[in-house]
Amino acid sequence: MKVPEQIQVFSPSTIANVGCGYDVLGFALDGIGERMTVTRRDDGKMVIEEDDRFNLPTNPLKNVATVAATALLREAGINMGFTFAFEKEIHPGSGMGTSASSSAGAVFAVNEMIGLPFNEQELITFAMEGEKLISGKAHADNVGPNILGGFTLVRGYDPLDVLRLPVPEDLYVAIVHPQVVVKTTDAKRMLKSQVKLEQAVNQWGNVGGLVSGLYESDYDLIGRSMVDNIVEPTRKLLIPMYDDVKQAAMDCGAIGASIAGSGPSIFAFTKGKETAEKIKETMQSLYDEVGILAYTYLSKIGKSGVRTLESL
């Protein structure tokens, strides 16, 4: 089998937690993400191409892509070098899984270039090393949908067990990314390490409800399950106008809305594209009115995960 010397992949952006599923639920966006070109090197080095737009770290020990790819190569017992070049669409630090896109893209591409020794669950494990670098915890709720596409549930971490969930056809998401900095490490650190039993009962009821809603394409059940009484009350304090934006989305007909990953982006689910368009415009204008720069996005749920665009 001839292995490629260069490969270009598309790795989708993802939204984790989905309200009630802290560190376990996530989904991929459709056609929004990053392109990554990975080229084999003869000198055995891991190199990140400089990127003027986002100033990504070029030290291979500090970039999620090289950290994740190195974990894979170490496990494979292969000493090879690669250059990684990124074209990111979403600003890093959005809560839309930009680092997960890079980690997943890197392990997917390198796996292709060494003859596909690893399966999808193993690729998720390597990509989690990038998440560990960026957030202090090797969580799989972003890299799961990156690799598998669609909605995923981390049923368990030890051993890792990431499940694919169904994607309702008419489910759309409107997203707003206000330009404030929220570091995932800080957003994780600020959470209490213990929750009350009553809160836990509500939360696992909602996780079950959301999963059931996805299986049944029951939009109302999906919406009423998007209740997070553990993480959202603390983290929303980091996001300007969170309550107003969420309420406006609900008033426009969202079935549910919450924080995208660790924030600061806010996402709203809708049944159908028209309502999502309306919510996207409303969220944008709320931030415009107070002079906070914000980017907005609209997407279906992306059924495909990371994929090859070109292989040479």
CB atoms within 10 A of CB 45: 12
Print the SS3 string covering 133-177.
HHHCCCCCCCHHHHHHCCEEEEEEECCEEEEEECCCCCEEEEEEE
**Is residue 129 among the annotated active site residues?**
no
Phi first, then psi, for residue 253 (nearest 5°) are 110, 15
- For residue 216, give every residue at least 6 positions away whose Cβ sits within 8 Å of its Cβ, in sequence order, or none: none
Q: The sheet that has 256-259: what strands, in order across it?
A: 256-259, 266-271, 171-178, 294-300
Q: How far is the CB of 95 from ligand HSE (least distance, A)?
A: 6
Select from 256, 228, 258 the least CA-distant residue to 243: 258
**Contacting ligand HSE (CB under 6 A), which of 7, 16, 36, 211?**
16
How many amino acids of this chain bind ligand HSE (CB under 6 A)? 14
98 counts as binding ligand HSE under rule CB under 6 A: no
Instruction: Indicate the pairing of strand 46-48 with strand 81-88.
Output: parallel
Q: Is 12 in the site for ligand HSE (CB under 6 A)?
A: no
Q: Is 14 in the site for ligand HSE (CB under 6 A)?
A: no
CB 120 within 8 A of CB 142: no
Active-site residue, 131 included:
yes
CA dist 73 and 55 (Å) reads: 26
Tell me: does residue 188 bind ligand HSE (CB under 6 A).
Answer: yes
- Choose, from 184, 270, 275, 282, the residue flagged as catalytic: 184
Q: Mark the segment that binds ligand HSE (CB under 6 A) among 45-53, 137-145, 206-214, 271-279.
A: 137-145
By CB under 6 A, tell whether 13 contacts ligand HSE.
no
Q: Of the candidates 206, 262, 270, 282, which one interacts with ligand HSE according to CB under 6 A?
A: 262
Among 34, 129, 131, 232, the active-site one is 131
Which of 22-36 are b and which e, b meaning 16 or more Cβ less than 10 Å from the residue's Cβ? bbbbbbbbbebbbbb
Structure tokens at 228: 């997070």
Out of 142, 203, 206, 282, the residue judged to bind ligand HSE by CB under 6 A:
142
- Using CB under 6 A as the binding rule, whether residue 17 contacts ligand HSE is answered as yes
Q: Which is nearer to ligand HSE, 23 or 277 (CB)?
A: 23
Residue 23 near ligand HSE by CB under 6 A: yes
Q: Would you say 39 or 135 has its CB closer to ligand HSE?
A: 135
Q: Whole-number minimum distance, CB 167 to ligand HSE, in Å?
A: 20
* Active-site residue list: 131, 184
Where along the sequence are the contacts to ligand HSE (CB under 6 A)? 16-17, 22-23, 95, 135, 139, 141-142, 184, 187-188, 261-262
